[in-house]
Structure 1
Amino acid sequence: MKRVICILLFFGAVSAGMLTLPFALEAGIFAASALDEHDDVLQAIKRGELMSYAKIKRIAEAKLQGVVVGQKLRRTNRGWQYDLRVRRKDGKVMVAIVDARTGEIVATR
């Protein structure tokens, strides 16, 4: 790891724009499981198993009449779900669980 840091410093590649993925992986900046999960999500979108976040956001904002202020995508035993934090027009924040494949709002609290 010291060798990687020395190489990065030597070439002036400390800025995030120049830090390449192989260097980042070797330096331990990204966890392998996070990259695997990212690949799983991209493959699921290509297979049509889930909608993109942009589509889900539009659906949720229209149905719940608010603005999405936070999101989390997770895989459950029922499939992929988005957990969305939505700030409504009255200022209250609610959590909506949305089926990522259909865009259906499963639950709110």
Structure 2
Amino acid sequence: MKRLIYIVLLIAALPLMPHPSGSGTSWAVLAADEQDDVLKAIKRGDVMPYSKIKRIAESKLNGVVVGQQLRRTNRGWQYDLRVRRKDGRVMVAIVNAQTGEILRTR
């Protein structure tokens, strides 16, 4: 039961953990300028909050997001999501962080 509570708390903290370089490093150890870049992008509307992206992806892909990374590309910010589908397969979805549009899956 304690492990389940820990997992739920960890999932709730995910919106605070994306890393713009895609290295998977948690939010807490980002350099101050990287944290500022993400916060500014969210305030400008260049990055949709992870909670909204997660809802969109789970609805459109009929699965559960089990991993995520936020990164900046030459086309703008994007979320790389790992989604476990109802049949148990895990897929990767590339999502436009500003619009929530699923750009591709594999």
TM superposition score normalised by structure 1:
0.69
**Over 4 Å off, 4+ runs:** none
| SS of match in other structure, 2:41 | helix
Give the CA deviation at 1:39: 1.2
Residue among 59, 65, 75 paired with 1:78:
75
Distance 1:66 1:95 in 2: 11
Q: Which has the higher contact order (CA 8 A, sep 6+)?
A: 2
Residue among 76, 88, 91 paired with 1:91:
88
Residue among 97, 103, 108 paired with 2:105:
108
Residue among 37, 46, 49 paired with 2:43:
46
Distance 1:34 1:73 in 2: 15
* Deviations 1:7-37 (CA, angstroms, capped at 9, x unpaired): xxxxxxxxxxxxxxxxxxxxxxx76x63211
Pairs within 5 Å for 1:2-13: none
5+ residue gaps, structure 1? 1-29
Number of residue pairs aligned between Structure 1 and Structure 2? 79
- Compare CA radii of gyration and give the structure with the larger one: 1
Asked if 1:63 corresponds to 2:55, the answer is no
What CA RMSD, in Å, does the superposition of the two structures yield over aligned residues? 1.3
For 2:71, the aligned partner's letter is R
5+ residue gaps, structure 2? 1-27
TM superposition score normalised by structure 2:
0.71
* Deviations 1:62-93 (CA, angstroms, capped at 9, x unpaired): 00000000000000000000000000000000
For 1:95, the aligned partner's letter is V
* Amino-acid identity (%): 77
